[in-house]
A and B are shown apart, each in its own frame.
Chain A
Amino acid sequence: MELLYASCVGLLVSCGVFLILRSRTFPVVLGLTMFSYAVNLFLFSSGRLSLNQAAVLGYSSDYADPLPQAFVLTAIVIGFAMTAFVVILAIRGRADLGNDHVDGQVNDKTKDNNHQKSHHKNKKVKV
């Protein structure tokens, strides 16, 4: 169970980080959401993983740590509010800046690529 849980968190974090590093706002927002899911799962596991244990005293012979569950609940609520805010901000950025790039300006990567490609072609032709 620990291995499955840990790799799940790890996968979410790596996807999240990859998406956050993208240049457009939509993938970044998705990345932030994934990252916060991963964080919530991680925080939950800090009270140790266990099966069939109630978080309330007296309901089972052993009990789970209730504090991380409270942390996760708080973190989920805050993360939800923040995600809502960043979505609205991204939409406003799209309207204000005329594009959906985090930097507010389109850096002409596609153009550069085309340029490079044509450059390569030229080289090949020369060769």
Chain B
Amino acid sequence: MMQNLTFLPVLLPMLAGVILLMPRLGRNISSRRIVSVALSIITFLASLALLLKTQAEGSQVYAIGDWSAPFGIVLVADPLSTLLVCLTSLLGIACTLYASAGDDEKGSYFHPLVHFLILGVNGAFLTGDAFNLFVFFEVLLIASYSLLMHGGDKRNTRAALQYVIMNLVGSAVFLIALGILYGVLGTLNMADMAQQVASLQGDDVYLAKIGGLLLLVVFALKGALLPLHLWLPNTYATAMPVVAALFAIMTKVGVYSMMRVYTLIFGDEAGELSHMAQTWLWWLALATIAMGALGILASKDLSKLIANLVIVSVGTLVALIAMQTIEASSAAIYYLVHSTLVTAALFILADLIGRQRGDVADHIIAGPPVLQPRLLGFCFLIAAVAVIGMPPLSGFIAKVWLLKATLNAQYTVVFWPLYLLASLAVLIAVSKAGSTVFWHHHGKATDSVEENLVHPAQLAALIILVSAAPLMSVFAGPLSEYAIGAATQLHDFNNNIKIILSGEL
């Protein structure tokens, strides 16, 4: 059992999805909810156990079917991937809880789909094989297509159609990239690829470069990097808010893949190809931050605004990845966890606010007052302070850390003003949105009071997500140590190769 722990965060959501499709649970909604939440808690506990185990015993490598690397597929549980697996599972708990208040009845199979999505995301974080990464991408994508359609209207169909077509093209490009890389390197195990890249010669170097840059296109599409970010605002704003909250982790899968591919495979040791994507990543990231900031200022409703916040966070993360230093990567890891949880909390809050304001919904205009201004206002305040990056919450720590990490970079002159201006845009837009929604109201509150009050399950989900910001700043010490450890291991080329390829654990 303990030996197979590495596989559990992938296996458990799959079992959960299958169990939830079984006839009895398929019909009875309340038992389905209980089982779904319980199973997502079990997944979280397994992820946590895996995290503690990797802390105690070092990175775990799990050869599926006992086929050792580089021939078989391996799952690699190192500090970074286990942290992200825990994050995903935690988000899973919050979303299943939140949806149990009624959102899951708006369409069919909400709960199984959420578990399948978690299966795909966890798998993508854990896998050490590029083709397996593609497979897990597809698993999470097909679950996300269906979730996007969940409880949707016409607006939804259009956004879903565009999202699906974009991602199908993305998958095809992914396969072409993998084909090129396999043809050149003869392997798709990431550690083995990293070893082979350095010894390439002649034309093969350029082929590998083409393959690597095609991968960049794919990850930029998944991660919503400029100019491939256009699908994101519409998709996230039309998806059901709880689904959008869950999607907060999906852009991070693209970012994480960039982290792996461009620090491990095309990193310091890649000979002619080392850091080949760095310049691209850097300028695209800066452009993404700028576009996201403009989008934030132009947003007319809360969900669009939050979707644009996601774009800014992706831009910031990619800029940090492009630095390729341990300090920048550790700041990126801390920022990644912070931004995922905070944006998820904001999506959920926007939903609750929208429900309590009747027809005005979450448009940023004066309207009927919310029914529970103290609760929602307080939560919004916390989430807003965190996302803006003001002291004392996690956003501030992340911001100071990443500014410090970029201090010695080549283009600090460009990054600092741009990033600080973007933060200013976030500050203006979020505070304007908050004050309009909570203070500028007229007319009576909506009639259907009982229905729209915050349900206990929703409250629990909200507390899980919102409390992350204060907790992340209270436990900033251990967390930042963990992030530094994870980043150090990410950049430790020889150690990574040794761990993954030795295989006999």
Contact between chains at B158 and A35 (CB < 8 Å): no
Instruction: Give the residues from 145 to 193 in chain B that come closer than 8 angstroms, CB to CB, to chain A.
Output: 145, 149, 153-154, 157-158, 160-162, 164-165, 168-169, 171-172, 175-176, 178-180, 182-183, 188
A46 touches B161 (CB 8 A): no
Q: How far is the CA of A40 from the CA of B164 in the complex (A)?
A: 19
Decide: B182 and A89 in contact? CB cutoff 8 A. no
Contact A46 B157 (CB under 8 A): no
A82 in contact with B142 (CB, 8 Å): yes
Q: Is the CB of B138 within 8 A of A82?
A: yes
Of B164, B179, B182, B188, chain A has the most CB atoms within 10 Å of the CB of: B179
Query: Does B401 sit at the interface, judged by CB under 8 A?
Result: no
Q: Per DSSP, are chain A's interface residues mostly helix, strand or loop, or mixed?
A: helix
CA A70 to CA B139, docked complex, whole Å: 18
| CB within 8 Å for A90 and B161 given contacts A35-B169, A39-B175 | yes
Q: Is B125 in the interface zone, CB < 8 Å from A? A: no
B161 touches A68 (CB 8 A): no
With A32-B169, A35-B169 known to touch, is A86 a contact of B164 (CB < 8 Å)? Answer: yes
Given that A96-B154, A104-B158 are contacting pairs, would A78 and B138 also be in contact in the complex, using a CB cutoff of 8 Å?
yes
A36-B172, A78-B135 in contact; A86/B180 too (CB < 8 A)?
A: no
Residues of A within 8 A of B165 (CB): 20, 28, 32, 86, 102
What is the total of A-B residue contacts with beta carbons within 8 Å?
89
Other-chain contact of A35, B161, B172, B179, B188 (Cβ < 8 Å)? B172
Residue interface mask A7-48, B partner, CB < 8 A = 1 = 000000000000010000100100010011001101101111
CA gap between A28 and B206 in the complex, in Å: 31
Does B334 sit at the interface, judged by CB under 8 A?
no
Q: Which residues of B contact A (CB under 8 A)?
A: 131, 135, 138, 142, 145, 149, 153-154, 157-158, 160-162, 164-165, 168-169, 171-172, 175-176, 178-180, 182-183, 188
Which residue from A32, A42, A43 sits with its C-beta under 8 Å from B168?
A32
Residues A43 and B158 in contact, CB atoms below 8 Å apart: no
B residues within 8 A CB of A67?
182, 188
State whether B157 touches A97 (Cβ < 8 A).
Answer: yes
CA distance A97 to B155 in the complex (A): 8
Question: Which residues of B are found within 8 Å of A47, using beta-carbon distances?
Answer: 182-183
Which of A's residues lie within 8 Å of B, judged by CB? 20, 25, 28, 32, 35-36, 39-40, 42-43, 45-48, 67-68, 71, 74-75, 78-79, 81-82, 85-86, 89-90, 92-93, 96-97, 102-104
A82 engages B171 (CB within 8 Å): yes
* Residues of chain B within 8 A of A78, CB atoms compared: 135, 138, 171
Complex Cα gap A123–B198 (Å): 65
CA distance A20 to B162 in the complex (A): 11
CB closest residue in chain A, given B153? A96
Q: Nearest CB to that of B132 among chain A residues? A: A74
**Which A-chain residue is minimally distant from B181 (CB atoms)?**
A46
Q: Which residue in A25, A71, A82, A90 is a CB contact (below 8 Å) of B131?
A: A71
Q: How far is the CA of A36 from the CA of B169 in the complex (A)?
A: 9
Secondary structure of the B contact surface, majority rule: helix
Chain B proximity of A7: nearest CB distance (Å): 16
Known A-B contacts A93-B161, A96-B154; A39 and B172 likewise in contact (beta carbons under 8 Å): yes
In angstroms, Cα B161 to Cα A90, docked, is 7
- 20 extra interchain contacts, Cβ-Cβ under 8 A, other than A20-B169, A32-B168? A25-B161, A32-B165, A39-B176, A40-B175, A43-B182, A45-B179, A46-B179, A46-B182, A47-B183, A48-B183, A68-B179, A71-B178, A74-B135, A86-B168, A89-B145, A89-B164, A90-B161, A96-B157, A97-B157, A97-B158
Taking a contact as CB atoms closer than 8 A, the residue among A39, A40, A43, A97 that contacts B154 in the complex is A97
Cα distance A119–B118 in the bound complex, in angstroms = 57
Q: How far is the CA of A42 from the CA of B173 in the complex (A)?
A: 11
- In the complex the two chains form, what is the Cα distance from A89 to B167 in whole Å? 14
Residues in B neighbouring A86, C-beta threshold 8 A: 161, 164-165, 168
Provide the bound-state CA to CA distance between A69 and B411, in Å.
45
Across-interface contacts of A20 in B (CB, < 8 A): 165, 169
Query: A85 is contacted by which of B135, B145, B158, B182 (Cβ under 8 Å)?
Result: B145
Chain B residues contacting A35 (CB-CB under 8 Å) are 169, 172
Contacts of B131 on A, CB cut-off 8 Å?
71, 74
Query: From residue A84, how far is it (CB to closest CB) to chain B in Å?
Result: 10
A46 contacts which of B135, B153, B183 (Cβ < 8 Å)?
A: B183
Give the complex CA separation of A103 and B180 in angstroms. Answer: 33
- Interface contact B161-A89, CB-CB below 8 Å: yes
Chain B residues, Cβ within 8 Å of A46: 179-180, 182-183
**A78 CB, min distance to chain B CBs, angstroms:** 5
Sample 26 A-B pairs with CB under 8 A, ordered by A number.
Answer: A32-B165, A32-B172, A40-B175, A43-B175, A43-B179, A43-B182, A45-B183, A46-B182, A47-B182, A71-B131, A71-B175, A71-B178, A75-B175, A78-B138, A79-B171, A81-B142, A82-B142, A82-B164, A86-B161, A86-B165, A89-B145, A89-B149, A89-B157, A93-B158, A96-B153, A96-B157
A20-B165, A85-B142 in contact; A42/B176 too (CB < 8 A)? yes
- Complex CA distance for A82 and B158, rounded to whole angstroms: 17
- Interface pair A42/B179, CB less than 8 Å apart: yes
Min Cβ gap A111→B in Å is: 21
